[in-house]
Amino acid sequence: MTRKNGKFYKTSEISKEEIEKKKIKDQIEDVIISHIGESYKYNIPLEIKEPKITKKKLENINQLIASAKTGYTPSTPARTKNISIATYTNNGILLMPGDEYSFNKIVGDTTADKGYLPATVIIGDKLEQGLGGGICQVSTTLHNAVLKTGIIPTERLNHNMPVGYTELGMDATVAYGTVDYKFKNTLNYPIYIEGAVTDNDVIFNIYSDSSLKSKSYEFSQ
């Protein structure tokens, strides 16, 4: 499933054939015992595995149900690049009901070979330079979009100091190997995450079934 030029493109699923190992083992033992010294033609038993994700289930992804946007200053090229890399790494994520999302699993370590650059990061209550500085704005923007769907994160920490791109307490810090941002799709329908950056904004859109559009959630501090 992909989304291009404002439209979803969904392809039909393909069933998978798997060898039934336990059945083969038992049958081969019987064949060897009962056909000693004889030639024997053996048909390998196959099991048809239906895919978890089907085109029919994806038909429920037909409406924008939540969106969030945070602004940034493009005057810091390194931070801007880090934000762009992490945002587009999160673009196109599909979560079926019950699936859990992990920012660190999707983005991984922010290494130089992935294109990440040193930029300002918050370490405790201090500002320092570190590879991937700025990606917490990506996790924060996604977090704000997710909350609007009624999904509550299973793992989320805010920074030890206020950040300028969202309201107090609405941020989601991440640090590979130590601090993650996670949530489980508790909706009855699959969700599709779309991430994008403009010259000044980080944007996350979440799509799902149109019946969810009528629901709204408000947050107070």
- Tens-digit pLDDT profile for residues 67-76: 999 999 999 9
Task: Give the pLDDT confidence score for residue 122 in this predicted structure.
Answer: 94
Residue whose pair of structure tokens reads 């039909």 in the numeric block:
12
Could you tell me which of 134, 130, 141 has the C-alpha nearest to residue 170? 141
Measured at the alpha carbon of residue 56, what is the angle toward residues 7 and 2, in degrees to the nearest 5?
Answer: 30
Identify which has the larger pLDDT, 193 or 125. 193
Per-residue DSSP letter, 176? T
How much is the pLDDT for 170? 97
Counting residues of the chain whose pLDDT is more than 90, the rounded percentage is 68
Q: Tokens 């969202």 — which residue?
A: 166
pLDDT per residue over 185-194, tens digit each?
999 999 999 9
Main-chain dihedrals φ then ψ at residue 18, nearest 5 degrees: -125, 145
Smallest CA-to-CA distance from 100 within 32, 194, 184, 180 is with 184
Judged on CB neighbours under 10 Å (0-12, 13-18, 19+), 132 is buried
For the entire predicted model, the pTM comes to 0.81
**Model confidence band, residue 10 (pLDDT cutoffs 50, 70, 90):** low
pLDDT at 3: 81
Given the structure tokens 């810090």, which residue do they identify? 173
218: confidence class by pLDDT, cuts 50, 70, 90: low
Amino acid sitting at position 76:
T
Residue 181 has pLDDT above 80, yes or no: yes
Q: Is 7 exposed, middle or buried (0-12, 13-18, 19+ CB in 10 A)?
A: exposed
Structure tokens at 175: 């640090």
pLDDT of amino acid 163:
96
Distance, in Å, from the CA atom of 121 to the CA atom of 129, rounded to the nearest integer, reads: 6
pLDDT at residue 149, rounded to an integer: 96
Tokens read off for 165: 């791109």
Token code pair at residue 137: 């704005």
Distance CA 84, CA 101 (A): 19
pLDDT of residue 108: 98
Looking at per-residue pLDDT, the higher value among 80 and 57 belongs to: 80
